[in-house]
Structure 1
């Protein structure tokens, strides 16, 4: 694994929430350029070391967010449209539902994405005052 790939993977592993390519590239600007970050994220995802999802945000536009697959397992997220924090909703709670879909329709699910957008508790409090 290259030095850049190791640094990108460490950046993903250290992130407490999914991270955008823009933010990851800023963190690693002394080591590699944004194009290198994009290429290596693609490599890490293709090799099952990272995962991503696309989030449509009214303020930030459409961005792809990445997280490490190492040790965290599949997670679902809440995204605050006001402060743009992510809240980890925990591991996947759709296993039984997906298995039912597979059994009923005869297909195999390889992956799925679930996130919720809204206003977090802290932003809700601030709006109320």
Structure 2
């Protein structure tokens, strides 16, 4: 992996919330140009080291946000003795007032995904979930 790609991954791993490509570029700093950051983010996604989702916001428009993937964890829904690893992912709440991201915690969608796969006889490779609204602080304003 190139030095810049490693630096981009370090930026994502050190972030407490999803980052846009421009935020990643700012944190990586010069001499990294935006095209290099986009290529690096794309590479990290292809390698399973990062993931992204698209969010539409009235103030910021539509933007893709990136996070580093966590180490896959064994599925709680796995049958006894069987270790099933789920694709790493996180879910978020996005405040439309202050534009912070708040993690939603552990994914509870595994049973829903499993039931859907059984009913539709398909394989779900990944899913994305985020909520938008106003956080506690912005609700009080």
Residue 109 (structure 1) aligned with residue 124 (structure 2): yes
Aligned-partner SS, 1:63: strand
Contact map agreement 2:113 2:124 (CA 8 A) in 1: yes
Contact map agreement 1:4 1:31 (CA 8 A) in 2: no
| 5+ long unaligned stretches in structure 2 | 73-87
Residue 74 (structure 1) aligned with residue 79 (structure 2): no
TM-score (norm 2): 0.86
| CA-to-aligned-CA distance 1:79-101 (integer Å, 9 cap, x gap) | 00010000000121100000000
- The alignment yields a C-alpha RMSD, in angstroms, of 1.1
| 5+ long unaligned stretches in structure 1 | none
| Structure in which a larger fraction of residues adopt helix | 1
TM-score (norm 1): 0.94
Aligned mates of 2:33, 2:140 — CA distance in 1: 39
| Structure in which a larger fraction of residues adopt strand | 1
Contact map agreement 1:48 1:69 (CA 8 A) in 2: yes
Aligned mates of 1:31, 1:46 — CA distance in 2: 24
Aligned-partner SS, 1:78: strand
Contact map agreement 1:81 1:117 (CA 8 A) in 2: yes
Cα offset, 1:125, TM superposition: 1.2
- Greater relative CO, 1 or 2 (CA 8 Å, sep 6+): 1
1:1-129 aligned at under 5 Å gives the runs: 1-71=1-71, 73-126=88-141
Higher mean displacement: 2-11 or 24-33: 24-33
Cα offset, 1:77, TM superposition: 0.4
Aligned mates of 1:91, 1:51 — CA distance in 2: 17
Contact map agreement 2:50 2:69 (CA 8 A) in 1: yes
